[in-house]
Homo-oligomer: A and B are copies of this chain.
């Protein structure tokens, strides 16, 4: 058994997939920068270390989430993220 690792944005975002007690999940890290992520499943994103400043699609407000804080994103949607320190996250996928 080996966990699957994936890279996005030229390696600036890297994650490892696993099965949490409840839902499929990834843990990953983001380099300093700005990214737009698309979702297929409904996502629960929790900041593990650092912080993420997030704007959900169809909204204008940016909101910053720190370690231990969670935001949710609809399926088949997208969100913009600004990262100012290397940041680790946990993402749970609700199908």
A–B complex contacts, Cβ < 8 Å, 23 sampled: A1-B12, A1-B31, A2-B7, A2-B11, A3-B11, A3-B29, A3-B31, A5-B5, A5-B14, A5-B16, A16-B29, A18-B29, A18-B49, A18-B86, A19-B86, A20-B49, A21-B50, A21-B85, A25-B49, A25-B88, A27-B28, A27-B48, A68-B68
The yes or no answer to A45 lying at the interface (CB within 8 A) is no
A18 to B83, CA, bound (A): 14
Size bracket, chain A contacts: 20 to 34
Interface residues of A (CB under 8 A from B): 1-3, 5, 7, 10-12, 14-16, 18-21, 25, 27-29, 31, 48-50, 68, 85-86, 88, 90
